[in-house]
A and B are shown apart, each in its own frame.
Chain A
Amino acid sequence: AQTVTQSQPEMSVQEAETVTLSCTYDTSESDYYLFWYKQPPSRQMILVIRQEAYKQQNATENRFSVNFQKAAKSFSLKISDSQLGDAAMYFCAYRRDQGGKLIFGQGTELSVKP
């Protein structure tokens, strides 16, 4: 069975600094999708970034980028120039294929200090 592990329950970053959130996963599949979702206090899940496993290039969305290491089954999220609005719970998620269900990690609560 596939599993997703986020080993950092809480992280803190100074405003304007960079922070990296860790995520590892376990799967025997070769084709899959990885996601980072943000859940602010409103609890609305927001897609931050996604990565297709067959793509070697790391995905980037403005201040958000990932370090995808397929062999190591690692998928970390880097947030550059952190802003107060980045404070939220961040979930790493895995999906086996286009129709598969999302499997979430335990979440990392990110706080941003002014």
Chain B
Amino acid sequence: GAVVSQHPSWVICKSGTSVKIECRSLDFQATTMFWYRQFPKQSLMLMATSNEGSKATYEQGVEKDKFLINHASLTLSTLTVTSAHPEDSSFYICSAKRTLQVLKNIQYFGAGTRLSVL
């Protein structure tokens, strides 16, 4: 159980276009989801916290108009990279926190999305 699906796994796009990444909790409800960015050989950097039915909370230095987050249901959050540029190329990872009290302390991660902007 506790599977988080992230789609697509790899996307290549032209500079100036927008890209949407989906994060789904397949077998549990997730009130809160998180979006991370990871550069090669580096750690995960939290970009924003996504809460179902409300606005996302962005970390300092992350442009909210650049990285649009929508969490419309208890099982789906999306990250849209708007007007992507080569410097946005990175590995994006989502995670989901279970709503159920018993296992609330654990975050489950998606497999990540590699974004390459040409």
Partners in one complex: yes
A44–B109 touching, CB < 8 Å: yes
Instruction: Out of B34, B43, B46, B112, name the residue touching A107 (CB < 8 Å).
Output: B43
Minimal beta-carbon separation of A59 from chain B (angstroms):
12
B111 x A42 contact (CB < 8 A): yes
Of A47, A101, A107, the residue contacting B106 (CB under 8 A) is: A47
| Nearest CB of B to A77, in Å | 16
Name the residue on B nearest A101 (C-beta): B46
B78 close to A (CB within 8 Å): no
Within 8 A of A (CB), among B79-118: 91, 93, 95, 104-109, 111-112
**Within the complex, which residue of A52, A101, A105, A106 is in contact with B49, where a contact is CB–CB below 8 Å?**
A101
Complex CA distance for A102 and B38, rounded to whole angstroms = 14
Task: Known contacts A43-B91, A99-B32, A101-B34; decide if A91 and B109 are in contact (CB<8 Å).
Answer: no
Number of interface residues of B (CB under 8 A): 20
> What is the CA–CA distance of A44 and B2 in the complex, to the nearest angstrom?
14
CA–CA, A46 and B93, complex, Å: 12
Q: Is B42 an interface residue (CB 8 A)?
A: yes
- List chain A residues, Cβ under 8 A from B91: 43
What mask results when residues 18 to 58 of chain A are scored 1 for a CB within 8 Å of chain B, else 0? 00000000000000010001000011111100101000000
Judge whether A62 is part of the interface by a CB distance below 8 angstroms.
no
Residue in contact with B107 in the complex, picked from A91, A102, A103, A105, CB distance below 8 Å: A102
Q: Which residues of A contact B (CB under 8 A)?
A: 33, 37, 42-47, 50, 52, 91, 95, 98-99, 101-107, 109
**Told that A44-B111, A107-B42 touch, could you supply 6 new A-B pairs with CB distance under 8 A?**
A42-B111, A50-B105, A98-B105, A101-B46, A102-B34, A102-B95
Name 14 A/B residue pairs within 8 A (Cβ), A-sorted.
A42-B111, A43-B38, A45-B44, A45-B93, A52-B105, A91-B44, A98-B105, A99-B32, A102-B46, A102-B107, A104-B43, A104-B44, A107-B42, A109-B41
